[in-house]
C-alpha cells in the first residue's frame, strides 16, 4: 500500500513508509536490548512472529468529533500529532476494514448536513462526542455506537436509516447511542440506548464463541492473537487434569481454552464488566469448569481456596505489581507463561521472577500491531529445582 494520506497529521502509525521487514527488526531489537539491560538470562530467544495482516487488522476504532482549526468545519477521526485539541478526519485509514471508513465518512456528512455541533472540551457544550465502530472478524458483524451529550435535537431514525442504506461488505447488526455528559474527554456511558438491532456482535476465537458488547474489552487483532494464544498455550507441557490460573484474564479467552483440557480454570480480572462477559461466554460455550472472579489479582489470590498447578499471566501495560508477583511466586508452580504487551514492564517482572528462583526458558516477540510501535511477547518460565 502507498503511504497513508493522513500520515503527516495523524499520530497513529509511526512506521509509515518503513518496509515491514525493517519494522519487525526494530521491534525485535528493542526486546533484545531491554533483556540485555536487565541482564535476563534466557534459554532461547525465537524470531519475532509477523502479523498475519499488515493492514485492515483493527476490529475496533474510537473516533472523536472536533475540528482541525479553531472555528473550522467539523471533523471526525483521530487526535492530530502533537496537537491534542485538533482532530483529523481519517476516512482512508489503512488499519481498518474499508467499511469503517465508509461509516465514518457517512456519519460526518450526515451530522454536517443536519447542522449538529460537536462537544467542546472547554465550554462543555455541544452534541457530538465520539463514534465507536466494532467488527467481528470471523463473523463479519458490525456494531456502531454514536456517543453524544444529552443535548436535544438528534434525528435518531434518520441516522439509522442512513446507515442501513450504506453498501457495506460486513453486516450491520446494531446501532447504539450512548449518552455521556461527563467532563472528561473519554468514552463514558451514562445511558445506553439501542436505536436498531442488538447491543452486541458475535466473534469466534480459538474455536469459541464470544458475545462482545458495546463496552467489552476484546483483542484488537483477532487473527494475530489466535497465533499468539496458540503458541502460548503450546508452551505448557500438560495441563490436563490440573488447576490452571489465568490472571488478568479480560473476557476469558485463555481461561476458556485452558478449561477445555484442565480439571478447572480460574480467571481473575479487575474490570467487572469483562468478568460478566467472561461468565456469559463460558455459559455460551457450555464450559462449567471455569470460575471467573472480579477484583485486584493480589487481593483475589489472598482469598481464593484453589491452588494452581499452572499459571498464565496476561497483564496490562503497567505489568504485574510486586505484591501480586510475590503471591504468584509463593505457589511454587513448575511453569508460568507470561504474555506481555509492553516489553519494558515485562523485563522488570522477569528480573524479579529470576531473582526469586524462576528461569526464562524461551521468549518470542509477536507483531500484533503493524505500523505502530507496539510489540507483544510470550515467554515460559520454569522453577529452578
Q: Is there a binding annotation on residue 292?
A: no
Is 211 contained in some domain?
no
Assess whether 307 and 262 both reside in one domain.
Answer: yes
Assess whether 135 and 231 both reside in one domain.
Answer: no
Q: Is there a binding annotation on residue 217?
A: no
Q: Which domain holds residue 71?
A: 60-205
For residue 193, the domain's CATH number is 2.40.50.1070
Residue 3: per-residue pLDDT: 81
Write the CB contacts of 83 (distance below 8 Å, at least 6 apart in sequence): none
Assess whether 185 and 278 both reside in one domain.
Answer: no
Residue 1: per-residue pLDDT: 66
3-class SS of residue 177: strand
Assess whether 317 and 259 both reside in one domain.
Answer: yes
Of 150, 177, 205, which residue constitutes the final position of a domain?
Answer: 205
Assess whether 262 and 312 both reside in one domain.
Answer: yes
- Asked whether 374 and 15 are in contact (CB, 8 A), the reply is no
Does an H or E element contain 251, and which? Answer: none
Once rounded to an integer, what is the mean pLDDT over residues 220-243?
95
Cell digits of residue 371:
505500523
Is 216 contained in some domain?
no
Assess whether 370 and 252 both reside in one domain.
Answer: yes
Return phi, psi of residue 158, to 5°.
Answer: -65, -40
Helical residues (DSSP H) of 72-150, grouped into ranges: 98-113
Mind telling me the catalytic residues?
Answer: 341
Assess whether 252 and 359 both reside in one domain.
Answer: yes
Q: Tens digit of pLDDT for each residue in 108-137?
A: 999 999 999 999 988 889 999 999 999 999
Of 154, 170, 205, which residue constitutes the final position of a domain?
Answer: 205
Write the CB contacts of 94 (distance below 8 Å, at least 6 apart in sequence): 1, 4, 13, 55, 56, 371
pLDDT band per the 50, 70, 90 thresholds, residue 286? very high
Assess whether 46 and 176 both reside in one domain.
Answer: no
Q: Is there a binding annotation on residue 269?
A: yes
3-class SS of residue 224: helix
Assess whether 136 and 247 both reside in one domain.
Answer: no
Torsion of CA 117, 141, 234, 20, to 10 degrees: -60
Cell digits of residue 320:
504485574
Q: How many domains does the chain contain in total?
A: 2
d(CA 178, CA 189): 6
Q: Is there a binding annotation on residue 314?
A: yes
Nearest to 82 by CA among 6, 8, 132: 8
Assess whether 194 and 259 both reside in one domain.
Answer: no
Is a pLDDT exceeding 90 seen at residue 221?
yes
% of the chain residues with pLDDT over 90: 86
For residue 267, the domain's CATH number is 3.40.50.150
Question: What would you report as the CA-atom Rg of the chain, rounded to the nearest whole angstrom?
Answer: 22
Assess whether 374 and 306 both reside in one domain.
Answer: yes
Of 154, 174, 205, which residue constitutes the final position of a domain?
Answer: 205
Amino acid at each position: 500500500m502507498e503511504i497513508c494520506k493522513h500520515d503527516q497529521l495523524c499520530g497513529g502509525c509511526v512506521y509509515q513508509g518503513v518496509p515491514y521487514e525493517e519494522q519487525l527488526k526494530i521491534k525485535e531489537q528493542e526486546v533484545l536490548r531491554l533483556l540485555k539491560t536487565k541482564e535476563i538470562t534466557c534459554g532461547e530467544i525465537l524470531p519475532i512472529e509477523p502479523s498475519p495482516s499488515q493492514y485492515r487488522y483493527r476490529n475496533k476504532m474510537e473516533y472523536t468529533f472536533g475540528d482541525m482549526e479553531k472555528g473550522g468545519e467539523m471533523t471526525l477521526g483521530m487526535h492530530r500529532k502533537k496537537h491534542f485539541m485538533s482532530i483529523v478526519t481519517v476516512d482512508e485509514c489503512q488499519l481498518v476494514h474499508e467499511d469503517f471508513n465508509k461509516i465514518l465518512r457517512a456519519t460526518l456528512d450526515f451530522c454536517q448536513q443536519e447542522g449538529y455541533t460537536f462537544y467542546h472540551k472547554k465550554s462543555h457544550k455541544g452534541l457530538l462526542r465520539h463514534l465507536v465502530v466494532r467488527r467481528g472478524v470471523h463473523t463479519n458483524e458490525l456494531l456502531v455506537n454514536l456517543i453524544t451529550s444529552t443535548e436535544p435535537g438528534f434525528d435518531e431514525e434518520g441516522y439509522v436509516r442512513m446507515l442501513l442504506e450504506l453498501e457495506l461488505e460486513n453486516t450491520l447488526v446494531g446501532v447504539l447511542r450512548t449518552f455521556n455528559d461527563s467532563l472528561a474527554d473519554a468514552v463514558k456511558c451514562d445511558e445506553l440506548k439501542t436505536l436498531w438491532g442488538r447491543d452486541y456482535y458475535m466473534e469466534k476465537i480459538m474455536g469459541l464463541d464470544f458475545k462482545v458488547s458495546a463496552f467489552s474489552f476484546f483483542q484488537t487483532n483477532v487473527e494475530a492473537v489466535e497465533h499468539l494464544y496458540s503458541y502460548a498455550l503450546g508452551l505448557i507441557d500438560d495441563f490436563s487434569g490440573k488447576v490452571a490460573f489465568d490472571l488478568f484474564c479480560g473476557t476469558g479467552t485463555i481461561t476458556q481454552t485452558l478449561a477445555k483440557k484442565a480439571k478447572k480454570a480460574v480467571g481473575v480480572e479487575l474490570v467487572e464488566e469483562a468478568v460478566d462477559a467472561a461468565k456469559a461466554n463460558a455459559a455460551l460455550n457450555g464450559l462449567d469448569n471455569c470460575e471467573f472472579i472480579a477484583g485486584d489479582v493480589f487481593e483475589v489470590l489472598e482469598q481464593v481456596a484453589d491452588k494452581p498447578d499452572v499459571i498464565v499471566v496476561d497483564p496490562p501495560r503497567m505489568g504485574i505489581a510486586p505484591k501480586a508477583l510475590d503471591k504468584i511466586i509463593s505457589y511454587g508452580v513448575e511453569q508460568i507463561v507470561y504474555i506481555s504487551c509492553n516489553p519494558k514492564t515485562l523485563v522488570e517482572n522477569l528480573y524479579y521472577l529470576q531473582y526469586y528462583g524462576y528461569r526464562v526458558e524461551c521468549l518470542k516477540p509477536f507483531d500484533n500491531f503493524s505500523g505502530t510501535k507496539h510489540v507483544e511477547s510470550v515467554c515460559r518460565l520454569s522453577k529452578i529445582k
